[in-house]
Amino acid sequence: MALGKDYAAQDCALARALEVLGERWTLLIVRDVFYGVRRYSDFLAHLDIPRAVLAARLQALVEAGVLDKVRYSDTPPRDEYVITEMGRELWPALHTLSAWGGRHLSANGSRRVFAHAACGTLVGPNGICPSCAVEVPVTDLDVLPGVYSPRRDDPVSRAMRLPHRMLTPLTCEH
């Protein structure tokens, strides 16, 4: 899913990354995967994204090696989307970008915050736990509602009203 011929011709690592991640919705899908969203119907409910766009973005992320598509039911055929090792490496960039948006572009601040599960302390925008002075791996983070918490009423938002360990599957009741 190239952004354009001229852009694709850029011999630049950032351009390569944006070829994979730079389209509208893509990073929000990746963010939801970190929250534990795995199923098409859950992405759809949480993101209010057109079906065809969601299907195309998921397909592109699988082709790029960011997500794996894993069959969890044969009748009817249903797949889950699980992040790969390569995809996991996106967490620090995603977290920094989100903190930047909260600081400069969102009058209400961040909707969600992240705590070091071992000690309960909120991590800083650099991903470091101020209590333990370590960079916390995403698997050791809990995501919880921030100060600004609009009551969206979709299955994913409901499941995320309580603290939830990052990357563990969210149970969403439809």
Residues that bind Zn ion (CB under 5 A): 116, 119, 121, 129, 131-132
Q: How far apart are the first and last CA of the chain?
A: 32
Work out how close the CB of 44 gets to Zn ion at its nearest, in angstroms, rounded to a whole number: 35
In the complex with Zn ion, which residue's Cβ is closer, 10 or 121?
121
Would you state the structure tokens that stand for residue 4, as one six-digit string?
Answer: 């354009």
Task: For residue 173, report the phi and psi dihedrals to the nearest 5 degrees.
Answer: -95, 120
From the CB of 133, what's the least distance to Zn ion, in Å?
A: 8
Identity of the residue, 113 or 129, whose beta carbon is nearer to Zn ion in the bound complex: 129
Quote the tokens at residue 169: 């599957």
The nearer residue to Zn ion, 20 or 166, going by C-beta atoms, is 166
* Distance, CA of 146 to CA of 155 (rounded, Å): 18
| Tokens describing residue 1 | 């899913």
- In the complex, minimum distance from the CB of residue 98 to Zn ion, in angstroms, rounded to a whole number: 20
